[in-house]
Amino acid sequence: MATFSPDALSAITPEFSYAGEKSLSRETACRLLRADDAMLPSLLAAAQLARDRFKPAIITYSRKVFIPLTNLCRDYCGYCTFRRDPGEPGAHTMSPDEVMEVVRAGEPMGCTEALFSLGDKPELLFPQMRDALRHLGFKSTLHYLEAMCEKVLRDSSLLPHPNPGLMSAEWLNRLSRVSPSMGLMLESTSTRLLARNAAHDNAPDKAPAKRLRVIEDAGRQKIPFTTGILIGIGETLEERVDTLIAIRDLHEQYGHIQEVIVQNFRAKPGTPMALAHEPDRADMLRTLAVARLLMPSMNIQAPPNLSDPHYADLLDGGINDWGGISPLTPDFINPEKPWPHLAQLEQRSNAKGFELRQRLPVYPEFADHAASHSGLLADRLGTASDVNGYARRAA
Ligand code: SF4
């Protein structure tokens, strides 16, 4: 883990000076996460110094289409409006033709990522999903996902980025041959959230140990991996720091975490957490800044649509990426929060002094790792990337 020691920090407070000289301690991170309004500007200044040292001048995004391959899911997270049971209005598993229709529509719009987001192993709970998969000719959702990723890779200019939930080491290996990166949100290392009426009550796939195991298995296989935290779902500030430190430690060991998402919980009508308190702007900024100071050289992302209309402020917390933005498909996970128009995103990034640049679903510094997993991937990445590893298409 690279660190930094800008003299300017010591002029702010000894606390922030310490941040970055060596890996930030849990104790210091917890203290910084409690920074009051008077301290917040100094904390943000420290985070910006760290970001500008390691990730200067450029803010990236991935132009994507969102493919909700199936919204059936065996978990029941307290904040989720994406999932459905079979027979519920809106329950749907996409056909291969529907997948390729979205991909084809995204190509002329300059999209370079096909984000496959889907429920976790619905066939384990629902016979209807087993029937649907049998009808499609697949044994499991992961077999179907693998086939669709390969089809997108072979038959389009887009690159797949699957988010299928928990995976075995064998499935990580299989999917790594047909996708340059993949993702699994850690969300939180707090086991308290699995308790009755907590956010992950009745969500067996959200057990932290299982998710940490997947991220570690991906590290052993050198798979460029996206993960992150979901803040405001009932975790304490200490647990939030523990989650960030778990991600940092895995990256220090394996060097494979290409991106850390800091996502803020938004309360959605009709969910068990509809009335839960949402993190406010200052809470989000403090968390971003602490994440940056814990992981100064890593890519840190926050979704702009979950902080609209003030999303440009997130740059003050030290992020260097906006995540996936689609000019075509809605955010099916947060359909009530549309993504900003790309022209607006560029204008607001420019106003803060950043150049907006389109990246691929794999970050430039991880592209070689991705390409090592299959000849097909190496070939497609070579075609899709420019000399610096960003998307060949201009932002
Ligand atoms: S958040 Fe993901 S795992 Fe949880 S219920 Fe929704 S789709 Fe399923």
How close is the Cα of 120 to the center of ligand 1, in Å?
A: 7
- Residue type for 243, please? T
Judge if the beta carbon of residue 325 lies within 6 A of ligand 1. Answer: no
| CA angle, residues 95, 101, 103, in degrees to nearest 5 | 110
CA nearest neighbour of 179 among 156, 159, 164, 163? 159
Judge if the beta carbon of residue 82 lies within 6 A of ligand 1. Answer: yes
Q: Which atom of ligand 1 is nearest to the CA of 74?
A: 8
Q: Which atom of ligand 1 is nearest to the CA of 118?
A: 7
Q: How far apart are CA 344 and CA 360, in angstroms?
A: 20
Judge if the beta carbon of residue 118 lies within 6 A of ligand 1. Answer: no
Judge if the beta carbon of residue 175 lies within 6 A of ligand 1. Answer: no
Rounded to two decimals, what is the model's pTM?
Answer: 0.94
Give yes or no for a contact between 228 and 301, defined as CB atoms under 8 angstroms apart: yes
How close is the Cα of 48 to the center of ligand 1, in Å?
A: 33
Q: How far apart are CA 276 and CA 352, in angstroms?
A: 32
Judge if the beta carbon of residue 76 lies within 6 A of ligand 1. Answer: yes
Q: Which atom of ligand 1 is nearest to the CA of 205?
A: 3
Domain 49-384 grouped into CATH 2.70.98.10? no
Structure tokens at 229: 């935290």
| CA angle, residues 182, 183, 188, in degrees to nearest 5 | 165
The three-class DSSP label of residue 80 is coil
Concatenated DSSP letters of 294-341 = HSTTS-EE--GGGSTTSGGGGGGGT--EEEEE-SSS--SSSTTSPPPP
CB count within 10 Å of CB 135 equals: 10
Who's near 126: CB < 8 A, 6+ residues apart?
72, 74, 85, 86
Give yes or no for a contact between 292 and 47, defined as CB atoms under 8 angstroms apart: yes
How close is the Cα of 112 to the center of ligand 1, in Å?
A: 25
170-173: long-range contacts at Cβ-Cβ below 8 A with a sequence spacing of 24 or more?
A: 171/142, 172/214, 172/217, 172/218, 172/221, 172/223, 173/221
Q: How far apart are CA 326 and CA 305, in angstroms?
A: 11
pLDDT string in tens for the chain (395-residue length): 444 444 445 544 555 555 455 668 999 999 999 999 999 999 999 999 999 999 999 999 999 999 999 999 999 999 999 999 999 999 999 999 999 999 999 999 999 999 999 999 999 999 999 999 999 999 999 999 999 999 999 999 999 999 999 999 999 999 999 999 999 999 999 999 999 999 999 999 999 999 999 999 999 999 999 999 999 999 999 999 999 999 999 999 999 999 999 999 999 999 999 999 999 999 999 999 999 999 999 999 999 999 988 999 999 999 999 999 998 888 877 787 777 789 999 999 999 999 999 999 999 999 999 999 999 999 999 999 999 999 996 44
Question: How high is the pLDDT of residue 1?
Answer: 46
Structure tokens at 165: 């939930």
